[in-house]
Amino acid sequence: MFKIKRFIKCYKNFSIILANFLVLFLIINLVIFGALYLRGERFTGSKIYGEDVLRKAYPDLSEEDRNILLDETWPQIQIYQPFTQFKEIPSKGKFVNINKNGFRVIENQCEYPISKENYNIFVFGGSTLFSTGVEDYKTIPSFMQKQLRAQSSRNDICVYNFGRSHYYSLQERALFENLILNGQIPNVAIFVDGLNEHYFEPANTEKLSQFVSGKKKFAFLFSDLPINRVIQFFLKNSIDIKTDDNLKMEEQNKILFQRYLVNKKMIDAIGNDYDIKTYFVVQPIPVYNYNLSYHTVYNNGFASSIIKGVMPRKQFYELLFEHYLEAKDKSNMMWLADMQSGRKENFYIDAVHYTAKFNEEIAKEIVHALK
């Protein structure tokens, strides 16, 4: 009898502690959720930089329009897609529109599926090609179509923006192949790369692997809670690059560089078989041939995040440049990494994404090479 009473007492005490813990956990998440909401999702996207930086990054937008644009841009929501693993979720907004077929809408967007009567150009890349942080009509592909039509006096030139967040050459190749499998064969395919080539595997690979294998099911339930978002934010920004890892980084860059060359070769082979002209663009990045003292975000208290997140790419770009110099045939290669060299102005609206003005300049360089 005594043991039963003791068990009941222990059970009651445990229940009270557990109930208090759950209530406290719920309250903490509600408070964080409210704080994030009131501060405009401050732990995601460009809004972490604050009003002063945002005003400099968007001098031509009113505060209202800027907030609408950033709300439509961040957080970037992706859904599963076979072969490529994920794509941006279809959306309709004032400034950001994503077609259900996986491309971002541009100004005077042509129909899809593509028409063989048109001259079709597919452009592939990561979020910089997607042109995160600017309006649909200020993206690189949108400027490309506008410039190509103006210079050729042809309205049948159709550009499609297949830029996607986190994508690099491996995923772009898979997307390119999948589009061809579905009968969407363009006249030209352009691949704008460099920044994201430093990824060893596609984003979300670990989560997808755990989900398929049935591991960490409990963790999935809490992965999107407000408290977890805050924890992940601080963990992400507390990672340091150790100088002792320089040798390891050098070996990793060589592996990634060879992977890029293989993907490039395979894309070329596919293009040749389907009579698709392929081009490969090496994009500008903030840590290669650019004076960071003119980088707005870098000079407003966020230097460490850029150094930690982007600096490892510099060594990779040196390998790319050697390859470009040694290449016998440069007819389908575009080296745009030096566009910032010697210039005293800001080219970025956040850590890595380009301003609308720089998007237009990059488009102009690509169009010039296409001619």
Q: Over the stretch 12-55, which tens digit does the pLDDT of each residue have?
A: 778 888 788 778 877 876 776 676 666 554 555 787 888 888 99
Separation between Cα atoms, residue 245 and residue 243, nearest integer Å: 5
| pLDDT above 70 as % of the chain | 87
Separation between Cα atoms, residue 69 and residue 163, nearest integer Å: 18
What residues does 282 pair with on adjacent strands?
193, 335
Residue type at position 102: G
The phi and psi torsions of 42 (rounded to 5 degrees) equal -65, -15
Greatest mean pLDDT among 31-40, 41-50, 248-257, 287-296 lies in: 287-296
Label residue 220 by pLDDT band (50, 70, 90). Answer: low
Label residue 244 by pLDDT band (50, 70, 90). Answer: very low
Label residue 146 by pLDDT band (50, 70, 90). Answer: very high
Measured in whole angstroms, the distance separating CA 61 from the mean position of its chain's CA atoms is 23
Using the predicted structure, report yes or no on whether residue 75 has a pLDDT greater than 80.
no
pLDDT at 195: 96
**Fold for domain 49-370?**
Rossmann fold (3.40.50)
Q: Is the full-model pTM beyond 0.75?
A: yes
pLDDT at 246: 59
Q: How many CB atoms lie within 10 A of CB 208?
A: 14
Q: How many CB atoms lie within 10 A of CB 16?
A: 10
Mean pLDDT, to the nearest integer, of 193-199?
Answer: 94
Q: Residue 113 has what DSSP assignment?
A: S
Instruction: Report CA torsion sign: 95, 100, 125, 240.
Output: positive
Domain boundaries, the chain: 1-38, 49-370
